[in-house]
């Protein structure tokens, strides 16, 4: 009898313990039902507009958006967002204005752009006399012996004649000059600079570069691609303070153009040291981030020769350093530029016979670096402009993917300007990102037929629609300061393809739709840099980066591509004006 009682009590205890979680859940759920739910209140509600979300998984348009702590709570009709309005909520009445996601520039050299804004700016110069006058004015304002730096010149604007040291020697006898062409693949030095660097008629052309010479063999002062390395070690480096000021100057300018995120390829061009990008990261970007001076989101790429250094940093810190600063991948070059006649083609340049362009890096070395960087999990972006250069990189990427196995690698080709027949389809087949710059087309439309021949230029130049037809991920950028940082103009160029002083499109079959062009500056640009989880569309949970435009009509905007930036918001905060 006692044993029965003991056993019964034990069974009852076990059953009670077994039901405790259920009873506990029922107790707490009933208790919670008595507690009113915590109300989420937005910091900002944007309403009464035409909001293009660029969100391809839901609806493309709404009229209102709720924001809290810099991120989007909800997008929809204002009636569905009223519950987010409370004490402290600011309301922005758009009064019918069009809003688009913060625009992303997929290819910039941000600090270089900021520096050029304070140097001798030769962009848009149309005559030799104007070129020389601007240089003379800069010399007269400078201290004797100080370096005169600047650039942005384009010889095609004054008929094609290349400048030479003889243009500027008389006006700069005691100041070394270094003036880069607009594409960064050619630079002009005066005779004093050549003497400082020891460049003479006896100096041999380096691999991947050319010293332009007179018939006598004397240097003209022009150095192309790797030949610039003969001078750049002697060029006076700008100070840390100047570079910091350049970043702030550049970001304010970008915000005025509606740009909220940039992919920064750094101060890394043929002829520069690999260390510049790292110095800028350490001296400028980390300073700006820690001192809360960042105003746009920046994804940084570094020279491919330093891939292991970037890998160590990403393993230590992760890819997201802050809401402003992201670690991207590595960048390399295979060729030069069309304007400098150093882009690599299968056929020779018509205006420089026997010239097919330059391989600015040894292909085997580049392949080995790409293989190693990709194997470590880093994203690789390689500059390729000529048709042969693009095929070389596509072949290389195909080999790398086969060797290192399947993964979401999003390998990039920067520029992809001239593509041989069939190459546009390979981008989609190989899942290679086409990171292109539509506004370069405005500079090349007149000169490409002269350099390549009309037929070649028409068949292979800026094949945006062909890339989209081949299912490539196309991301738009500017390459600023090579071209202006102006996404709205870039979109217009891609849609219309009408160069200055033309009244018709260049290669009209390659015009793309307005939506495709805007997408290339928003969600596609984000995907191209693995940033689409954070930004690129106005979707719940993403960063609240958006641009208010001057137009009240989406139809007019999409048809004419004519609008200006009224205000730029980053993280729900107005950053411009």
Residue-wise pLDDT for 397-424, tens only, equals 999 999 999 999 999 999 999 999 999 9
Core vs surface per residue 345-381: b (16+ CB within 10 A) or e: beeebeeeeeebbbbbbeeeebbebbbbbbebebbbb
Mean pLDDT of 67-76: 96
Residue 121 CB coordination number (10 Å): 16
Lowest mean pLDDT among 161-170, 263-272, 544-553: 263-272
Lowest mean pLDDT among 25-29, 70-74, 282-286, 340-344: 25-29
| pLDDT the model gives residue 208 | 85
| pLDDT the model gives residue 34 | 52
Lowest mean pLDDT among 55-59, 305-309, 495-499: 55-59
What is d(CA 345, CA 353) in angstroms, rounded to the nearest whole number? Answer: 12
- Of 547, 447, 385, give the one whose Cα is nearest residue 160: 447
Residue 48, Ramachandran bin (φ over 0: left; ψ between -120 and 50: alpha; else beta): left
| pLDDT the model gives residue 20 | 44
Is a pLDDT exceeding 90 seen at residue 509?
A: yes
| pLDDT the model gives residue 396 | 99
| pLDDT the model gives residue 35 | 56
Spell out the residues 6+ positions from residue 439 whose beta carbon is closer than 8 angstroms to its own.
478, 483, 484, 486, 489, 490, 493
| pLDDT the model gives residue 105 | 99
**269 pLDDT tier (thresholds 50, 70, 90):** confident
Q: Give the position of tokens 């035409």.
A: 50
Is a pLDDT exceeding 50 seen at residue 8?
A: no
Mean pLDDT of 313-322: 97
For the entire predicted model, the pTM comes to 0.89
In this structure, are residues 176 and 193 in contact, taking their beta carbons and an 8 Å threshold? yes
% of the chain beyond a pLDDT of 70: 93
Residue 144 CB coordination number (10 Å): 8
Q: Residue 148 — φ and ψ, nearest 5°? A: -105, 115
Lowest mean pLDDT among 53-67, 458-472, 496-510: 53-67
* Runs of H (alpha helix) within 318-386: 363-375
Lowest mean pLDDT among 38-42, 88-92, 259-263, 342-346: 38-42
**561 pLDDT tier (thresholds 50, 70, 90):** confident
| pLDDT the model gives residue 5 | 45
Helices and strands per DSSP (H, E), number in the chain: 20, 24
- Is 565 in a helix, a strand, or coil? strand
Q: Tokens representing 38? A: 């915590």
Q: Average pLDDT, whole number, for the chain?
A: 92
| pLDDT the model gives residue 58 | 64
Mean pLDDT of 145-156: 88
Mean pLDDT of 48-74: 91
Lowest mean pLDDT among 93-97, 149-153, 263-267, 403-407: 149-153
% of the chain beyond a pLDDT of 90: 80
117 CB-contact burial (10 Å; exposed 0-12 / middle 13-18 / buried 19+):
middle
Cα 418 to chain centroid, rounded: 19
| pLDDT the model gives residue 33 | 53
- Of 259, 439, 427, 414, give the one whose Cα is nearest residue 335: 414
| pLDDT the model gives residue 22 | 43
| pLDDT the model gives residue 29 | 52
| pLDDT the model gives residue 18 | 44
Mean pLDDT of 343-370: 96
What is d(CA 491, CA 476) in angstroms, rounded to the nearest whole number? Answer: 8
Mean pLDDT of 124-129: 90
**1 pLDDT tier (thresholds 50, 70, 90):** very low
Mean pLDDT of 221-241: 91
Is a pLDDT exceeding 60 seen at residue 161?
A: yes
Strands (E), 165-296: 177-181, 186-189, 209-213, 219-225, 259-264
Strands of 103-108's sheet, edge to edge?
103-108, 259-264, 297-303, 325-333, 380-384, 412-415, 433-436, 474-476
Torsion angle of C-alpha atoms 436, 441, 447, 451, degrees rounded to 10: 30
Is a pLDDT exceeding 80 seen at residue 6?
A: no
């Amino acid at each position: 009898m006692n044993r029965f009682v003991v056993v019964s009590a034990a069974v009852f205890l076990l059953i009670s313990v077994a039901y405790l979680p259920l009873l506990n859940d029922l107790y707490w759920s009933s208790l919670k039902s008595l507690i009113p739910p915590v109300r989420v209140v937005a910091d900002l509600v944007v309403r009464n507009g035409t909001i293009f979300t660029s969100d391809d998984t839901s609806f493309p348009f709404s009229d209102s958006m709720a924001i809290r702590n810099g991120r989007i709570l909800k997008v929809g009709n204002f009636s569905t967002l009223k519950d987010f309005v409370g004490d402290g909520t600011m309301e922005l009445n758009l009064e019918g204005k069009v809003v688009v996601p913060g625009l992303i520039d997929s290819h910039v050299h941000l600090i270089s752009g900021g520096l050029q804004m304070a140097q001798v700016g030769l962009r848009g110069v149309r005559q030799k006399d104007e070129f020389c006058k601007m240089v003379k004015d800069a010399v007269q304002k400078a201290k004797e012996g100080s370096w005169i730096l600047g650039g942005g010149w384009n010889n095609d604007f004054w008929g094609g004649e290349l400048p030479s040291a003889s243009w500027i020697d008389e006006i700069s006898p005691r100041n070394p000059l270094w003036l880069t062409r607009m594409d960064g693949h050619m630079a002009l030095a005066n005779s004093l600079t050549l003497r400082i660097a020891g460049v003479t008629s006896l100096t041999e052309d380096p691999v991947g570069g050319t010293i332009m010479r007179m018939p006598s063999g004397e240097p003209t002062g022009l150095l192309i691609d790797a030949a610039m390395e003969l001078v750049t070690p002697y060029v006076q480096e700008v100070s840390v303070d100047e570079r910091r000021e350049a970043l702030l100057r550049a970001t304010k300018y970008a915000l005025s153009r509606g740009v909220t995120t940039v992919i920064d390829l750094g101060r890394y061009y043929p002829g520069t040291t690999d260390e510049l990008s790292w110095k800028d990261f350490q001296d400028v970007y980390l300073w700006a981030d820690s001192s809360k001076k960042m105003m746009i989101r920046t994804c940084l790429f570094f020279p491919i020769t330093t891939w292991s250094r970037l890998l160590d940093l990403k393993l230590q810190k992760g890819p997201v350093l802050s809401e402003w600063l992201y670690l991207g991948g590595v960048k390399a070059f295979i060729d030069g530029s069309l304007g400098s006649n150093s882009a690599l083609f299968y056929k020779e340049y018509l205006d420089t016979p026997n010239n097919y362009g330059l391989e600015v890096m040894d292909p085997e070395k580049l392949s080995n670096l790409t293989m190693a960087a990709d194997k470590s999990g880093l994203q690789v972006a390689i500059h390729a402009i000529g048709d042969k250069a693009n095929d070389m990189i596509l072949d290389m990427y195909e080999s790398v993917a086969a060797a290192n196995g399947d993964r979401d690698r999003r390998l990039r080709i920067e520029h992809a300007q001239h593509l041989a027949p069939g190459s546009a389809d390979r981008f989609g087949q190989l899942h290679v990102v086409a990171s292109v710059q539509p506004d370069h087309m405005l500079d090349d439309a007149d000169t490409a037929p002269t350099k390549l021949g009309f037929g070649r230029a028409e068949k292979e130049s800026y094949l945006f629609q062909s890339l989209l037809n081949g299912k490539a991920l196309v991301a738009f950028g500017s390459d600023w300061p090579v071209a202006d940082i102006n996404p709205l103009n870039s979109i217009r160029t891609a849609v219309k393809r009408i160069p200055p002083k033309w009244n018709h499109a260049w290669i009209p079959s390659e015009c793309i739709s307005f939506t495709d062009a805007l997408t290339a500056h928003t969600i596609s640009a984000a995907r191209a840099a693995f940033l689409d989880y954070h930004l690129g569309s106005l979707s719940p949970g993403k960063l609240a980066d958006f641009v208010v435009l001057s137009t009240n009509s989406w139809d007019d905007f999409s048809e004419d591509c004519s609008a200006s930036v009224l205000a730029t918001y980053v993280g729900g905060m107005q950053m411009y004006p």
